[in-house]
Amino acid sequence: MCERFLLIVRPVCIILLYMFTITTDTSIDVFRKEILADGCRYIPLTYRIKGKEYADEFSSDAEFEKFYRKMESAGELPTTSQITPFSHQTFFEKVYAKNKCDIVHLSLSGGLSTTYVSACTGAADFMSKNPGAKVHVVDTLGATTASVPVYRKAIELMRKGVEASIAADKLRQYAKSIRVHIVVDDLKYLRHGGRISAAAAAIGTALDIKPIIVFDDEGKLEVYKRPLGLKKALRLVINDIKETIRLDQKKVWIAHADARPLAEKAAEALRTELGAETEICWIGPVIGSHTGPGTIGFVFESDSGRKF
């Protein structure tokens, strides 16, 4: 076990011990200062605009807004970079040197990127040089806000004193219960990322198709439906949430790529029609570079899991 912080109650000093440290990459769009305040650590992914590389270190609304302004004015689409196994290894070494306990690492979906494999390789290299040290890499099967429930569950398990390997297994299972819908506004970004062909993007734009994209059990993206118009797309998503959300856990995280008015409108509909608790979050540069501005996503726990 490792010492994480002191809680002083009157003259008595109680040392709270946790069984593991939580780490993550910045595909998860929680303000970085919040991650640090939670006692967790992160390794940043990077993005590149007009030849200049930036670390994803956002901790304020203004930084997310600035990214989308840069994206719109650059005249070219941003690109993103993976984290190498060596960078992961070095990161785990620094975290372990400070905390001296097991690590549970939450990774970007292996269905979207090689970052998960890189984290596993870096963890294996780290453990081979540090006998007794353990890093448990968890594929969140998601990205951006889709990974937030897994992060919050990890903190809950850590604070309950759950052992690292058990927590990691619980998180892997829990990730499969997180249902995700993404509504894309501008198809040119999917075309740029190779998700759809140029012809499909042109036809879809002409017909005002707003594809609804979901995550499957392997954390891969697939097109669920292709409704005509944003209003119809949002209605289909809200109806699915009403039918499949866990009734004892009616919370919906709403993610947006510089589309807060739309996110607030959707949140109001969910509160009115379902009595759901809502939380509005950003889609950051790691995913926003590929979906583009205007995209909105819905994340919630479901007894149906990812079966569509």
Same domain, 184 and 288: yes
> 13 - beta bridge partners?
8
Q: For residue 268, what are the domain limits? A: 178-301
Is 101 domain-assigned?
A: yes
Residue 108: pLDDT band by 50, 70, 90 thresholds?
very high
Last residue of a domain, one of 144, 175, 206: 175
What pLDDT, on the 0 to 100 scale, is given for residue 5? 41
Starting from the edge strand earliest in sequence, which strands make up the sheet with 52-55, in order?
52-55, 46-49, 79-81
End-to-end CA distance of the chain: 41
Last residue of a domain, one of 157, 175, 193: 175
CA 142, 147, 153, 156: dihedral to nearest 10 degrees?
150
Whole-angstrom Cα Rg for the chain: 20
Residue 9: pLDDT band by 50, 70, 90 thresholds?
very low
Same domain, 15 and 99: yes
Is 52 domain-assigned?
A: no
Same domain, 139 and 221: no
| Structure confidence by residue, pLDDT tens digits, 193-243 | 555 455 444 445 555 678 888 999 999 888 898 888 889 999 999 999 999
* pTM of the complete model beyond 0.95: no
| Structure confidence by residue, pLDDT tens digits, 125-140 | 999 999 989 999 999 9
CATH code at position 189? 3.30.1180.10
Same domain, 166 and 191: no
Same domain, 24 and 103: yes
Same domain, 149 and 18: yes
Q: Can you tell me which residue has the tokens 């353990």?
A: 134
